[in-house]
């Protein structure tokens, strides 16, 4: 008795102090209930992305110029930082972007400060008119809570003040809102349009005028005036207070700004446009604070939007929420709760059918809400949030939370039954004995389930492991909580019940008798049993070679992306006409394509459309994509293709690297038709952007010197004429700061002839134009210059049509082996290829490490290096079941299936541990090997079947339903199918395999001990007991 009480100290404590234990669990329940309201509800946990983006705006320059003047100096400085995994950049007419990727374990905030220091060392090498260098770092909390689109048939170009005053500012005042971004409509700016003739006549330059304007518009702190009575801050100010202050500012004693320039409020020139449902649109993105509740912020923001919509000021203006992150999270939570509820009900029903006692069933089921409440409380104390990943972990754990309680209750019931058969009355000691018999087994089973996540928590840190951490935390905490409940509360509550008789022998006897007879046969026919097991394992080859391996996102994405690929140079209005034509085609077939909304974004050289599909659509995303492509009308100015469904890391990408951008472009153009002939590859294109025409102005130094000009003065005047120059802001406008921009008349920037006739100097009474001192030529130029790891590169991308990533890899490699590239040029597979390879390799390594850890736990449990192999072998049978299950259901091996395999590894061994531990106990009681196996199987088959049935039924709604992560992410189906198929097949086979392997391993050990004349001191005790059998 004492020995058994010592082996179950928690159960003994619970029975000695029942009120104390009840109060402890009541406190834990209250902690969980309170924590459920305090836990931040988010879509993703707050995770720092190991990426830094350096952005340098430099509009009006050519991509080649940006690359030479900005990108390369920045790359040279940033490349000296340690730990950089990738250094990529792209340069275009808007400026330079340099992206640095680090390891996930790096401190990105410290890296960002280091990058800023490196940039400061080369700041003097950048062009003087580079105003600011932006450094961005990213976190999953940076995603907008709501994306609002404002559209109307009326002109919205002057709606900035209305939207800012009645929508943007009220949203910014909401509790929990950190930032509101408004785009698509601009605030009016103050434009100072210099008149070149007057400027030259006054013998002034644009640079001189700009300096005078900046010196006159300032505010500063000059210290304090200290008197006997007070200390007063002195703040000299010379700020402009209205437009007349600017016009009347003296430039020379006899000339004011108004004499040489026109000063007015103007709308900035529109550089981009947006459509929503075929009308011009404005966008608003709402971001929340990191500690704010996602659902609360979305609810408050939605109320403000609805109130604005009812305002008379917004009559004729439609406010449409295009993206609501809170809605997707609540949808996912609702789906999970529904699936979990259905699974829980089914599990309870099956549990009752096995136990036939509603009191015991209720006690076992009670462990689920207690464990979940305890998990929520611990997650809150540890600083975790409730997000789609932690909810996924809780959902997966629900089916396993009653496993320990079932095993303990069944063991106690068996002890009570044995006492009744012996003519004794079951008492407190009986309950302790029953709990103690399985104590070590359930501890080991819980540890093996939780330990499979250790490689993800402490191993190589990558994107997949970082996100799996939150799934693992929820599963591990909940399982440990269920173990605590099974060790304390379950024995306590069962001890308060009047012992009930076990089901009569005729109940479930047919199945049990058949199992025991077949088990005895397998023990007496080891060769036949081995042959059957090997045949099952070999059969895995068939489904393995017939299952696709695909991790693209087209199957579950609710959107389609169309990139227009603008051909040639066009104005914004001309590109908008092109977009409108395609939108008209889409809306003419809206019902056939099952489109809810279409959102488009366009610039003079780029355009894309996002097709938001109906939630209750009948067609698959791939089928809609084919229908849209097949009927798409030809467009004169563009060649529309479908973009990647899951962003730049998905789809097919081939990276070409070499020395010359021109040569790379030619190689890419030659490869596109070759790759386009591969069956299953569609929308093959490059990422060089739309080719642009560069206006190259070569200044004649000798000619410029004749008119007392230098090349820099001429270049500055051209820059002011085309790009303008930003001055210090005007700070006395009712809506806030207003930008002041100095430039030339608009016609200069819109006409080559006007630019050539730009007056830049005066020679006595004659005016000198640009054409007199410069040669102006038009040359072609790439729209974007990309560099990967400081080497010029071009990417070729494509979509997949009825083709998996693995099939695409093989087909592309076969084609590329026949292509001869110039010396010094190479190609690599990128995008979805690299993503899949990284994820697969990490998951495989972590699964192998998990197997090793599970083996160590069992070796410690059994005090044997050999017997854990009997249980580990059941993992092979589980994998067999997984492949057959995936093949029969037509499911591919994707990331969610791999996650399912990882979770399955921890579940499958539980049954084997319980069975082997029971066999060991029977042998220790003096039974022969065969009798020990039969008796252990007889005692443990019921709890094994019960725990497996409840786990499978808990997963069944996920396998049969269409629940997705976050409401719009990957479906749970592959993971659920993997767990169900592997667990079902391994359970049915392990009930024979584990006892068979147990006996074979003992026989194998005895044989080699005899061969090598091993001393009896080294012979395992159970082996000696079973020599006769």
| Ordered domains of the chain (ranges, CATH) | 1-38+356-502 (1.20.1640.10), 189-266+693-781 (3.30.2090.10), 559-650+671-678+688-692+798-827 (3.30.70.1430)
Note the pLDDT of residue 507.
46
Mean pLDDT to the nearest integer, 95-116: 87
| Per-residue model confidence as pLDDT tens digits over 967-992 | 666 788 888 899 999 988 888 888 88
* Residue 580 pLDDT level (bands cut at 50, 70, 90): very high
* Residue 5 pLDDT level (bands cut at 50, 70, 90): very low
The answer for residues whose C-beta is within 8 angstroms of residue 701's C-beta and 6 or more apart is 711
Note the pLDDT of residue 780.
65
Highest-pLDDT range among 170-174, 353-357, 726-730, 1006-1010: 170-174
Q: How far is it, in rounded angstroms, from Cα 843 to Cα 836? A: 10
Note the pLDDT of residue 3.
41
Q: How far is it, in rounded angstroms, from Cα 96 to Cα 780? A: 20
Tell me which of 8 and 522 has the higher pLDDT.
522
For the chain, how many residues are written?
Answer: 1029
Q: What are phi and psi of 691, to 5 degrees?
A: -60, 135
Q: Is 252 helix (H, G, I), strand (E, B) or coil?
A: strand
Note the pLDDT of residue 548.
64
Q: Is 728 helix (H, G, I), strand (E, B) or coil?
A: strand
Q: Taking 60 as the threshold, does the pLDDT of residue 788 lie above it?
A: yes
Q: Taking 70 as the threshold, does the pLDDT of residue 91 lie above it?
A: yes
- Residue with token string 């012979």: 1019
**Cα angle for residues 398, 402, 405 (degrees, 5° grid):** 160
Q: Which of 84-88, 269-273, 454-458 is predicted least confidently? A: 454-458
Q: Which two tokens stand for residue 423?
A: 């003519």
State the CB neighbour count (10 A cutoff) for residue 591. Answer: 9
CA distances from 570 to 93, 133, 434, 651, 697 (A): 15, 30, 82, 29, 21
CA distances from 783 to 69, 665, 903 (A): 17, 12, 48
High-pLDDT (> 70) share of the chain, %: 90
Tell me which of 961 and 653 has the higher pLDDT.
653
Mean pLDDT to the nearest integer, 268-297: 86
Q: What are phi and psi of 318, to 5 degrees?
A: -100, 130
Beta bridge partners of 250: 256
Burial of 51 (0-12, 13-18, 19+ CB in 10 A): middle
Q: Which residue from 297, 306, 303, 305 is spatially nearest to 330, judged by alpha carbons? A: 297
- Whether the CB-CB separation of 322 and 597 falls below 8 Å is answered with yes
* Residue 688 pLDDT level (bands cut at 50, 70, 90): low
Burial of 745 (0-12, 13-18, 19+ CB in 10 A): middle
Q: What is the DSSP letter of 605?
A: T
Q: Is 273 helix (H, G, I), strand (E, B) or coil?
A: strand
Q: Which residue from 1001, 974, 837, 1014 is spatially nearest to 919, judged by alpha carbons? A: 1001
| Per-residue model confidence as pLDDT tens digits over 316-375 | 888 888 888 888 788 777 777 777 778 778 878 888 888 778 888 888 888 888 888 899
Quote the mean pLDDT of the chain: 81
- Whether the CB-CB separation of 444 and 861 falls below 8 Å is answered with yes
Q: Which two tokens stand for residue 971?
A: 């479906």
Q: Is 689 left (phi over 0), alpha (psi -120 to 50) or beta?
A: left
Q: Taking 80 as the threshold, does the pLDDT of residue 777 lie above it?
A: no
Mean pLDDT to the nearest integer, 479-488: 90
Cβ-count burial 323-353 (b if 16+ within 10 Å, e if not): bbbbbbbbbbbebbeebbebbbebbbebbbe
The answer for residues whose C-beta is within 8 angstroms of residue 495's C-beta and 6 or more apart is 15, 428, 431
CA neighbours closer than 13 Å in the CB half-sphere of residue 840: 13
Beta bridge partners of 273: 602
Quickly list DSSP for 811-822.
HHHHHHTTPPPP
Q: Is 735 helix (H, G, I), strand (E, B) or coil?
A: coil
Q: Which of 444-453, 561-570, 762-771 is predicted least confidently? A: 762-771
Q: Which residue from 866, 874, 921 is spatially nearest to 440, judged by alpha carbons? A: 921
| Per-residue model confidence as pLDDT tens digits over 719-731 | 888 777 888 888 7
The answer for residues whose C-beta is within 8 angstroms of residue 35's C-beta and 6 or more apart is 373, 376, 377, 379, 380, 381
Mean pLDDT to the nearest integer, 4-32: 82
Q: What are phi and psi of 29, to 5 degrees?
A: -65, -45
Q: Taking 80 as the threshold, does the pLDDT of residue 953 lie above it?
A: yes
Burial of 208 (0-12, 13-18, 19+ CB in 10 A): middle
Q: Taking 50 as the threshold, does the pLDDT of residue 1028 lie above it?
A: no
Q: How far is it, in rounded angstroms, from Cα 899 to Cα 389? A: 12
Q: How far is it, in rounded angstroms, from Cα 968 to Cα 285? A: 19
Q: Is 491 helix (H, G, I), strand (E, B) or coil?
A: helix
Q: Which residue from 576, 599, 577 is spatially nearest to 587, judged by alpha carbons? A: 599
Q: Taking 60 as the threshold, does the pLDDT of residue 712 lie above it?
A: yes
CA distances from 898 to 67, 106, 550 (A): 42, 26, 12
Q: Which of 187-201, 689-703, 797-811 is predicted least confidently? A: 689-703
Q: Which two tokens stand for residue 615?
A: 């939630």
Q: How far is it, in rounded angstroms, from Cα 445 to Cα 907? A: 8
| Per-residue model confidence as pLDDT tens digits over 834-877 | 777 777 777 788 888 888 888 888 888 778 888 788 888 888 88
| Per-residue model confidence as pLDDT tens digits over 743-765 | 888 766 667 777 777 777 776 66
Q: Which of 205-209, 418-422, 819-823, 940-944 is predicted least confidently? A: 418-422
Q: Taking 50 as the threshold, does the pLDDT of residue 505 lie above it?
A: no
Note the pLDDT of residue 554.
46
Q: Taking 80 as the threshold, does the pLDDT of residue 948 lie above it?
A: yes
Q: Taking 60 as the threshold, does the pLDDT of residue 1020 lie above it?
A: no
Cβ-count burial 676-715 (b if 16+ within 10 Å, e if not): eebeebbbbbbbbbbbbebeebebeeeebeeeebeeebbe
Q: Taking 60 as the threshold, does the pLDDT of residue 426 lie above it?
A: yes
Q: What are phi and psi of 48, to 5 degrees?
A: -75, 120
Q: Which two tokens stand for residue 855?
A: 């083996």
CA neighbours closer than 13 Å in the CB half-sphere of residue 802: 5
High-pLDDT (> 90) share of the chain, %: 4
Long-range contacts at 615-621 (CB < 8 A, ≥ 24 apart): 615/558, 618/594, 619/594, 620/555, 621/554, 621/555, 621/556, 621/557, 621/558, 621/560, 621/645
Q: Taking 80 as the threshold, does the pLDDT of residue 813 lie above it?
A: yes
Burial of 930 (0-12, 13-18, 19+ CB in 10 A): middle
Mean pLDDT to the nearest integer, 446-474: 79
Q: What's the count of helices (H) and strands (E) in the chain, helices before strands?
A: 40, 30
Q: How far is it, in rounded angstroms, from Cα 1004 to Cα 1014? A: 13
Give the orientation angle of helix 973-1011 with respect to helix 929-960, to 10 degrees: 160
Q: Which residue from 76, 58, 90, 89 is spatially nearest to 782, judged by alpha carbons? A: 90
Q: How far is it, in rounded angstroms, from Cα 42 to Cα 296? A: 11
Q: Taking 80 as the threshold, does the pLDDT of residue 193 lie above it?
A: yes
Mean pLDDT to the nearest integer, 97-108: 86
The answer for residues whose C-beta is within 8 angstroms of residue 521's C-beta and 6 or more apart is none
Note the pLDDT of residue 750.
61
Mean pLDDT to the nearest integer, 157-162: 84
H/E stretch holding 974 reads: helix 973-1011
Q: How far is it, in rounded angstroms, from Cα 110 to Cα 115? A: 9
* Residue 679 pLDDT level (bands cut at 50, 70, 90): confident
Q: Taking 70 as the threshold, does the pLDDT of residue 506 lie above it?
A: no
Mean pLDDT to the nearest integer, 692-711: 76
**Cα torsion angle, 464, 467, 471, 474, sign:** positive
Strand locations in 815-889 (E)? 826-831
Tell me which of 555 and 1009 has the higher pLDDT.
1009
Q: How far is it, in rounded angstroms, from Cα 899 to Cα 919? A: 32
């Amino acid at each position: 008795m004492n020995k058994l009480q010592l082996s179950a100290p928690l159960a003994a404590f619970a029975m000695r102090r029942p009120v104390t234990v009840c109060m402890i669990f009541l406190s834990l329940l209250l902690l969980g209930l309170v924590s459920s309201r305090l836990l931040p509800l988010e879509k993703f946990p707050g995770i720092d992305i190991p990426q830094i983006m350096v952005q340098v705006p430099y509009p009006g320059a050519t991509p080649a110029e940006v690359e030479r003047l900005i990108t390369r100096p920045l790359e040279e400085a940033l490349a000296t930082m340690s730990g950089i995994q990738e250094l990529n950049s792209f340069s275009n007419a808007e400026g330079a972007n340099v992206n640095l990727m680090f390891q996930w374990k790096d401190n990105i905030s410290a890296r960002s400060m280091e990058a800023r220091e490196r940039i400061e060392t080369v700041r003097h090498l950048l062009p003087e008119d580079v105003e600011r260098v932006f450094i961005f770092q990213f976190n999953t909390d940076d995603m907008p809570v709501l994306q609002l689109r404002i559209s109307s048939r009326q002109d919205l170009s002057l709606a900035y003040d209305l939207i800012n005053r009645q929508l943007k500012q009220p949203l910014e005042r909401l509790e929990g809102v950190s930032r509101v971004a408004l785009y698509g409509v601009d605030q009016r700016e103050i434009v100072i349009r210099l008149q070149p003739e007057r400027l030259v006549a006054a013998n002034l330059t644009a640079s001189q005028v700009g300096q005078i304007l900046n010196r006159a518009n300032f505010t500063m702190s000059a210290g304090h005036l200290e008197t006997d009575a007070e200390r007063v801050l002195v703040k000299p100010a010379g700020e402009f207070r209205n437009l007349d202050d600017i016009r009347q500012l003296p430039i020379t004693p006899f000339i004011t700004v108004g004499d040489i320039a026109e000063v007015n409020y103007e709308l900035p020139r529109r550089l981009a446009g947006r459509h929503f449902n075929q009308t011009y649109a404005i966008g608003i993105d709402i971001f929340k604070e990191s500690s704010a509740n996602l659902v609360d912020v979305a609810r408050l923001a939605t109320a403000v939007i609805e109130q604005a919509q009812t305002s008379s000021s917004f009559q004729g203006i439609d406010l449409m929420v295009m993206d609501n992150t809170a809605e997707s999270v609540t949808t996912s939570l609702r789906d999970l709760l529904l699936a979990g509820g259905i699974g829980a009900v089914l599990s309870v029903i099956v549990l009752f059918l096995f136990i036939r006692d509603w009191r015991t069933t209720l006690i076992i089921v009670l462990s689920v809400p207690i464990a979940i409440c305890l998990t929520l409380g611990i997650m809150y104390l540890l600083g975790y949030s409730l997000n789609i990943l932690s909810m996924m972990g809780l959902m997966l754990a629900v089916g396993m939370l009653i496993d320990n309680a079932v095993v303990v209750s069944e063991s106690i019931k068996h002890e009570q039954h044995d006492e009744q058969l012996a003519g004794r009355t079951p008492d407190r000691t009986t309950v302790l004995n029953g709990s103690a018999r399985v104590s070590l087994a359930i501890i080991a089973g819980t540890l093996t389930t939780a330990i499979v996540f250790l490689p993800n928590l402490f191993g190589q840190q990558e994107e997949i492991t970082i996100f799996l951490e939150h799934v693992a935390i929820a599963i591990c905490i909940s399982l440990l909580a269920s173990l605590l409940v099974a060790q304390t509360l379950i024995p306590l509550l069962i001890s308060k019940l009047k012992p009930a008789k076990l089901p009569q022998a005729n109940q479930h006897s047919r199945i049990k008798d058949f199992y025991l007879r077949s088990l005895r046969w397998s023990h007496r026919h080891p060769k036949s049993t081995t042959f059957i097991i090997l045949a099952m394992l070999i059969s895995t080859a068939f489904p393995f070679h017939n299952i696709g391996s695909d991790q693209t996102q087209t199957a579950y994405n609710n959107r389609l992306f169309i990139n227009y690929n603008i051909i040639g140079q066009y104005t914004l209005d001309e590109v908008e006409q092109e977009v409108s034509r395609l939108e008209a085609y889409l809306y003419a077939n809206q019902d056939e394509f099952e489109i809810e909304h279409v959102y488009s974004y366009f610039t003079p050289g780029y355009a894309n459309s996002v097709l938001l599909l109906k939630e209750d659509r009948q067609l698959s995303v791939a089928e809609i994509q084919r229908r849209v492509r097949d009927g798409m009308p030809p467009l004169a100015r563009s060649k529309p293709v479908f973009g990647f469904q899951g962003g730049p890391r998905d789809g097919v990408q081939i990276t070409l690297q070499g020395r010359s951008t021109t040569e790379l472009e030619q190689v890419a153009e030659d490869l596109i038709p070759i790759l386009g002939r591969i069956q299953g590859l569609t929308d093959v294109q490059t990422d060089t952007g739309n080719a642009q025409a560069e206006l190259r102005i070569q200044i004649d130094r000798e000619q410029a010197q004749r008119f007392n000009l230098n090349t820099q003065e001429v270049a500055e005047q051209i820059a002011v004429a085309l790009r303008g120059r930003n001055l210090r802001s005007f700070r006395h406008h009712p809506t806030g700061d207003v930008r002041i921009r100095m430039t030339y008349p608009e016609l200069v920037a819109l006409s080559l002839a006007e630019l050539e006739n730009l007056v830049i100097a005066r020679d006595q009474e004659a005016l000198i134009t640009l054409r007199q001192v410069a040669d102006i030529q038009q040359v072609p130029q790439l729209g974007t210059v990309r560099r990967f790891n400081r080497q010029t590169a071009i990417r070729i991308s494509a979509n997949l049509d009825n083709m998996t990533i693995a099939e695409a890899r093989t087909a592309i490699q076969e084609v590329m082996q026949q292509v001869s590239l110039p010396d010094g040029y190479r190609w690599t597979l990128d995008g979805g290829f690299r993503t899949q390879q990284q994820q697969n390799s990490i998951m495989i390594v972590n699964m192998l490490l998990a197997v090793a850890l599970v083996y160590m736990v069992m070796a410690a449990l059994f005090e044997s290096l050999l017997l854990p192999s009997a249980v580990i072998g059941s993992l092979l049978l589980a994998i067999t079941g997984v492949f057959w299950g995936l093949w029969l259901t037509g499911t591919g091996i994707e990331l969610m299936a791999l996650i399912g395999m990882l979770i399955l590894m921890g579940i499958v061994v539980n049954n084997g541990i319980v069975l082997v531990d029971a066999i060991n106990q029977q042998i220790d009681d003096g039974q022969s090997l065969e009798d020990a196996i039969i008796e252990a199987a007889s005692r443990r088959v019921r709890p094994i079947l019960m725990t497996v049935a409840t786990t499978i039924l808990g997963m069944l709604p996920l396998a049969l339903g269409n629940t997705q992560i976050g409401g719009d992410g990957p479906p749970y189906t592959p993971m659920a199918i993997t767990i169900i198929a592997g667990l079902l097949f391994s359970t049915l086979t392990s009930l024979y395999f584990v006892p068979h392997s147990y006996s074979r391993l003992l026989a194998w050990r005895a044989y080699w001990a005899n061969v090598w004349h091993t001393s009896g001191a080294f012979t395992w005790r159970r082996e000696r007991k079973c020599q006769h059998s």
